[in-house]
Structure 1
Amino acid sequence: MAANIVFTRIDNRLVHGQVGVTWTKAVNANLLLVANDEAASDPLMQKLMSTTAESSGAGIRFFTLQHTIDIISKAADRQHIFIVVKTPQDCEKLIAGGVPIKTVNVGNMHFAQGKTEITKKVYVDADDKKALLDIAHKGVDIYIQDYPGEKKTTVDDALLSKVQ
């Protein structure tokens, strides 16, 4: 039985108000799974994100990428899982590891040196581009959408053509 993954989002802020409340309610998730090696071992990060998750009524777990891969198949059917990862590379690792992700929402990927603007909230470099395209080429529906109900921008070769 595959895990009931209702939503997967790439957001370099991980869980914050927009994810913890707006998206969680929009996708009817009852469990936020933060798949991030750093957050899995940082009690302060966990405390801040847990407070946000509690305001939406969802449970929250913090797993390393590998632990997520190892344990996702054991999820109960009643768990409507919303996976949050920090980078496209993390998402790509989960998919390669067998996590049954069918759709990926790209949220915030902040500007940094060497990154190219794709949308107002998404900046990518060559490594990000490769990971995003690898995900898209595996048949995963991957798109940029900041808020529920906003227009979706499909992530594909044409969109990423300006990234070197």
Structure 2
Amino acid sequence: MSGPNILSTRIDNRLVHGQVGVTWTNHLGANLVVVANDKVAEDEVQQSLMEMVLPDTVQARFFSLQKTIDVIHKASPRQKIFLVIKDVQDALTLKEGGVPFGYLNVGNMHYSEGKKQISSTVSVDENDIAAFKRLAELDVELDLRGVPSDRGQNLLDLF
């Protein structure tokens, strides 16, 4: 039995916003965006804002991390999934929970106190680096890329 058709998984602390909603969804040919985020799963206002950005041909689902782990394997092969998450800790939770992705597009991780900027859009602290290294051990390719036309960089090279 084949697993869910996850075209790409992206870390973006803004989750689905204009550029990502349209550019990445079109580039991937996704017809379902799954936002895995505990807060947004409870916040209908945020959900509507994200849905407004997406093309009409694309559906969106807003699941908690645990629900994503529980339901992702029930996805139909016709569902071409773009999985969007807020940070690397959540990515690791999903991967260790059995969500089968082997590629992680690292888009935006905002700078905050105690983090080190490793690219124009990504800042990390020790916990983030540890989580990325763990994902790499689990055979996840880590690709730093803002928009599809950017040249990707292996995140591990930047630590």
Band of TM-score, shorter chain? over 0.9
SS at match of 1:104: strand
Distance, in Å, in 2 between the alignment partners of 1:13 and 1:57 is: 22
- Distance in 2, matches of 1:133 and 1:44, equals 35
Give the partner amino acid of 1:159.
L
Give 1:56 deviation, angstroms.
5.8
Consecutive unaligned residues in structure 2, runs of 5 or more: none
Alpha-carbon distance change, 56 to 145 in structure 1, aligned in 2, over 3 angstroms: farther
| Secondary structure of residue in 1 paired with 2:118 | strand
| Alignment partner, residue 159 of structure 1 | 158
Aligned to 1:93: 93
Structure 2 SS opposite 1:107: strand
User: Which consecutive aligned stretches of 4+ in structure 1 deviate over 2 angstroms post-superposition?
Assistant: none
Percent identity of paired positions between Structure 1 and Structure 2 = 46
2:27 paired residue number: 26
2:70 aligned partner: 70
8 Å Cα contact 2:20-2:147 kept in structure 1: no
Residues 47-84 of structure 1: CA deviation (Å, up to 9, x unaligned): 1001112x363100000000000001100010000000
Aligned 8 A contact 1:11 1:107 in 2 = yes
Q: Residue type of the partner of 1:117? A: Q
Paired with 1:59 and 1:16, the residues of 2 have a C-alpha distance of: 15
The answer to whether 1:6 aligns with 2:2 is: no
Q: How does 1:88-127 map to 2 (within 5 A)?
A: 88-127=88-127
Q: TM (normalized to structure 1)?
A: 0.94
- For 1:139, the equivalent position in structure 2 comes to 139
1:31–1:81 contact (8 Å) kept in structure 2: yes
- What is residue 46 of structure 2 aligned with on the other side? 45
Deviates more, 1:56-65 or 1:40-49: 56-65
Shift of 1:27: 0.7
Following the alignment from structure 2 to structure 1, what is the Cα–Cα distance between the partners of residues 56 and 154? Answer: 28
User: Aligned residue pairs: how many?
Assistant: 158
Matches of 1:22 and 1:2, distance apart in 2: 25
Q: What is the distance in 1 between the residues matched to 2:120 and 2:114?
A: 16
Scaled by the length of structure 2, the TM-score of the pair is 0.96
Instruction: Tell me which amino acid in the other structure corresponds to 2:18.
Output: G
2:100 paired with 1:80: no
1:108: Cα distance to partner? 0.5
After superposition, the Cα gap between the structure-2 partners of 1:126 and 1:56, relative to the gap in structure 1 and judged at 3 Å, is farther
Structure 1 gap ranges (5+): none
What amino acid does structure 1 have at the position aligned with 2:158?
A: L
